[in-house]
Structure 1
Amino acid sequence: MAKSQQTFGKKEKEKKRLQKRKEKQQKLEERKANPKSSSLDDMIAYVDEFGNISTTPPDPTKKREKIDAESIEISIPKKEDVEEDPIKKGRVDFFDSSKGFGFIIEQDTKERFFVHVNGLLEEIVEGNLVSFELEQGLKGLNAVRVKKI
């Protein structure tokens, strides 16, 4: 005599599958019994004067002044031309003559700039007051045309 091929686990899975099917059928019948209107008016949303989304159209009496679309700028504001002295002054913070590089701290902004021996017009040592110009390097601004004051 052979054993039944139906195990407890298989029976439970079948029960769950049937239960899900019944629930799905009930939901379908509920939707058919209570149909939602899917007209365009139900789908439209409005924005009130405070920027909140609402279902009611805005009141035309509360309408604000008209904004000219041409006057709206959607970009980074243009930089005004400010004449800036290209020659800056600073103090040599660190300089290693054996490796040929160092750093200069600008007097006004206290920013630190890299300087290479190729950008020197005169020999410098730590603590010297110098004048220099800035150029864009590979990793940021570099001090060039450096000379003692």
Structure 2
Amino acid sequence: MSDSFFKKENAKKKAKKKQEKALKRVDRKTNNNKGQSLESMYAYVDENGVITSTPPDKSNRKEVNLDGILLGARPIVREEAKPNTGVITFYSDKGYGFVTDDETKTNVFFHSNDLIMPVNLKDKVTYDIKTTPRGDNAINLKIIQ
């Protein structure tokens, strides 16, 4: 009895896959990359970030001052040219309060231990800033007349 059409087609597909597999095996054997020297496998990156097979030219190399490299956040440098002024907007009986800065309109915390003279609510004061782990604190508060 003769084979059906689908059996013939499946047999053709199998034969074609077998032939392609044999061709790939022969190609792998002829183009074998094993046994190459280590230097032939090196890749270099030039100053523009392009990968090349030639080593970079060392005559164009620039020296870098390692002391000039800053790791982490740059420290904040405050200008101490003029004293800070503000108005006391909150003062608690417990001994702490807030000064609202005249220029930046930010609230700065202060404690009664940092006062030079007694202050009241809505007094205009001058103060210095001390940076703490919790934020800026106003110290050396003096009333402006």
TM-score where L is the length of structure 2: 0.58
| Paired-residue identity, % | 30
- Separation of aligned partners in 1, 2:64 and 2:131: 38
| Contact 1:121 1:145 (8 Å CA) reproduced | yes
- Separation of aligned partners in 1, 2:78 and 2:130: 18
> Number of residue pairs matched?
117
- Separation of aligned partners in 2, 1:142 and 1:72: 33
Cα pair distance change 1:133/1:86, threshold 3 Å: farther
Secondary structure of the corresponding residue to residue 109 of structure 1: coil
Q: Which runs of 5+ in 1 are unaligned?
A: 1-29
In the other structure, the counterpart of 2:99 is: 104
Aligned with 1:44 (options 42, 51, 58): 42
Cα pair distance change 1:94/1:42, threshold 3 Å: farther
Amino acid at match of 1:73: G
Amino acid at match of 1:56: S
Which consecutive segments of 4 or more residues in structure 1 shift more than 6 A? none
Cα pair distance change 1:112/1:49, threshold 3 Å: same
Cα pair distance change 1:69/1:110, threshold 3 Å: same
After superposition, the CA RMSD in angstroms is: 3.8
- Residues 119-143 of structure 1 show CA distances to partners (whole Å, capped at 9, x for unaligned) of 1122323322110112234522211
| Contact 1:103 1:115 (8 Å CA) reproduced | yes
Alignment of 1:18-37 (within 5 A): 33=29, 35-37=32-34
Q: Which runs of 5+ in 2 are unaligned?
A: 1-24
TM-score where L is the length of structure 1: 0.56
